[in-house]
Amino acid sequence: MDDFQRLQRQSFVLFSLSHFLSAGIGVAVWYFTKKEINSELGALGLALLVAVLTQLIITSILNSIIMKPLGTLWQVILYVSSNSKSLSAPELKRTQFGRELISSLANRIYQFAGTVSSSNSNEAEHRKSLLQSINIVKLFPHPLFVFNKEQIITSTSQIALDYVGIESNQLLGHKLFEVLDLNFTSSDTLENWVNDCQANKVTDYKYWYRVQLKPLGERPVKQCDISAYYNRDSPSGTEFIVTIIDRTNEYSQADDSLGFIALAVHELRTPLTMLYGYIEVFEEELSGKLDDELTGYLRKLRMSADQLSTFVTNVLNVTKIDNNQLSLRLFEIDYSNLIKQSTASLVLRAQMLGKRITFNIEDGLPTVAADPTSIGEVINNILDNAIKYSEESNEIVISAKLNPEGMVETTIQDFGVGIPANIIPNIFDRFYRNHRTRGQFSGTGLGLYLAKVIITAHGGNIWVKSKPGEGSIFSFTLQLYSNLADELKSSDNKEIIRQAHGWIKNHSMYRR
């Protein structure tokens, strides 16, 4: 039996006893007064009156006993949430009724609030623990910042000052986010976490990898991990503790591999540029002059260039993800246009292979918030698979609609070989390929991994339904532009118009 049930039973017993007591008093009154008062009815009335009065008095006493634990709990909450420490902690030992339950609840509250002990902590104790925590901040062997509930830095160490290249008077008394130039890999930033904590949490901690920190002045950019701890109304004044773990050496070593990939990609792209250029010249100059066979060859030439281009882009993107360098620029996008544009070359390829791609796009779709290049790559990677794995079937359907959750949902359905159930959980993993079909179909196992990363970074979901022999349905969701409009306007995205793979800067804004 737990503490709560015990308390419930105790109060039931008390109330039952009180009923018996007042009933007994009523019976006694009736018994002794019926001879005095010659009316039987009069005696009964008097007895009832006395019983009801007794019951009222007892109930009022019982009420105060039973409500007392709640009052104590209320005091505990007031104590931990008040700023001034003038309030003293309620003494739990004085609680008689339901002490076990109240003690355990109160201790849990103290635990959440980070208070070490309930009743014996006083002003001096607080000061002592504050001093202790300041000493720890000073001696801690990594850069460390403490800030209060106004998000203003209250304490830091020399190591931290050296690390960010700043004087203490530029740091203390300022907001962390105004002083530190931190660059996170996603919208999952320290600042968002801090705000979320203050709105919804009592205690929490979090770790970020691969954060870029730009020190003041001409110092080189640092790469670090960050860990942070939150404790609402901590009595020692350490509302937030943020530690920086320098990883510049480790991460820049990894970045050199991006350097190598970047070089390889450059060398691959140069002949690709030429291939596309000459194919275009042929298509333009020879159109209508070639027989079907040669026209087909020319198309196959373009398809081969596309295939190489997709591979190069995938390799580059995976490398960027590994190095947390993949950044998306979200814009307001007419989705039906994006689908048509980004699938144009694959539609041609499907035709060459005797397959038909049908579009089933809902009319009047609201605009989505998307990085058009990346979403184009997602659609292409999924569609490429659909073409590859559709085998004998000739039909592929691309649909887009507004789903009940208010997101734009895209599905790409093929009626080909399908995916065995045991493979599905891993299908979005990197380099994952079905070992049974590995010999049958070519591929790198990068496409769906990239799709997942890109869609997730957009705030959407991606999933697959499939039955072997019946085909697969890949679906993903994108957020509406209207949901992100405010956020987009406050960022500097509007300064840059990005079109397919290039952008033009708003000129008047650039020239000073």
Residues in touch with other proteins (CB under 8 A): 212, 221, 255, 258, 261-262, 265-266, 268-270, 272-274, 276-281, 284, 309, 312, 316, 325, 327, 496, 499-505, 507, 510
Going 83 to 85 to 86 to 87, the CA torsion angle's sign is positive
Closest to other proteins by CB, 172 or 279: 279
| Token pair 């399908």: residue | 418
Amino acid present at 291: D
| Token pair 């999952």: residue | 188
Instruction: Check: CB of residue 306 under 8 Å from CB of residue 349.
Output: yes
Give least dist CB 482 to other proteins, A.
27
Query: How far is the C-alpha of 191 from the C-alpha of 227, rounded, in Å?
Result: 13
Give least dist CB 211 to other proteins, A.
13
Strands (DSSP E) found in 247-334? 331-333
Closest to other proteins by CB, 239 or 306: 306
Query: How far is the C-alpha of 249 from the C-alpha of 8, rounded, in Å?
Result: 61
Closest to other proteins by CB, 349 or 433: 349
Give least dist CB 483 to other proteins, A.
26
Give least dist CB 137 to other proteins, A.
31
Output the CA–CA distances (angstroms, integers) from residue 212 to 24, 188, 306, 409, in the order listed: 79, 14, 35, 34
Give least dist CB 503 to other proteins, A.
6
Give least dist CB 186 to other proteins, A.
13
Query: How far is the C-alpha of 476 from the C-alpha of 381, rounded, in Å?
Result: 13
Closest to other proteins by CB, 261 or 473: 261
Going 288 to 289 to 291 to 296, the CA torsion angle's sign is negative
Give least dist CB 210 to other proteins, A.
12
| Token pair 């623990």: residue | 129
Closest to other proteins by CB, 316 or 484: 316
Q: What is the largest CA-CA distance in the chain?
A: 131
Give least dist CB 234 to other proteins, A.
36
- The count of other CB atoms within 10 Å of the CB of residue 53 is 13
- The count of other CB atoms within 10 Å of the CB of residue 192 is 12
Closest to other proteins by CB, 140 or 276: 276
Amino acid present at 115: T
Enumerate long-range contacts of 308-313, CB under 8 Å, 24 or more apart: 308/268, 308/272, 309/272, 309/276, 310/377, 310/380, 310/381, 310/384, 311/444, 312/265, 312/268, 312/269, 312/272, 313/377
CA 13, chain centre distance (Å): 49
Give least dist CB 358 to other proteins, A.
27
Give least dist CB 122 to other proteins, A.
52
Strands (DSSP E) found in 220-348? 222-231, 240-246, 331-333
Give least dist CB 255 to other proteins, A.
7
Instruction: Check: CB of residue 153 under 8 Å from CB of residue 146.
Output: yes
Query: How far is the C-alpha of 29 from the C-alpha of 22, rounded, in Å?
Result: 11
Query: How far is the C-alpha of 383 from the C-alpha of 350, rounded, in Å?
Result: 10
Output the CA–CA distances (angstroms, integers) from residue 396 to 47, 151, 392, 437, in the order listed: 88, 54, 12, 20
Closest to other proteins by CB, 261 or 330: 261
> Which tokens is 190 given?
């320290």
- The count of other CB atoms within 10 Å of the CB of residue 425 is 9
Give least dist CB 332 to other proteins, A.
18
Closest to other proteins by CB, 95 or 223: 223
Give least dist CB 261 to other proteins, A.
8
Closest to other proteins by CB, 41 or 504: 504
Query: How far is the C-alpha of 155 from the C-alpha of 120, rounded, in Å?
Result: 27
Closest to other proteins by CB, 161 or 279: 279
Closest to other proteins by CB, 20 or 510: 510
Closest to other proteins by CB, 95 or 373: 373
Closest to other proteins by CB, 63 or 287: 287
φ, ψ dihedrals at 416, nearest 5°: -100, -140
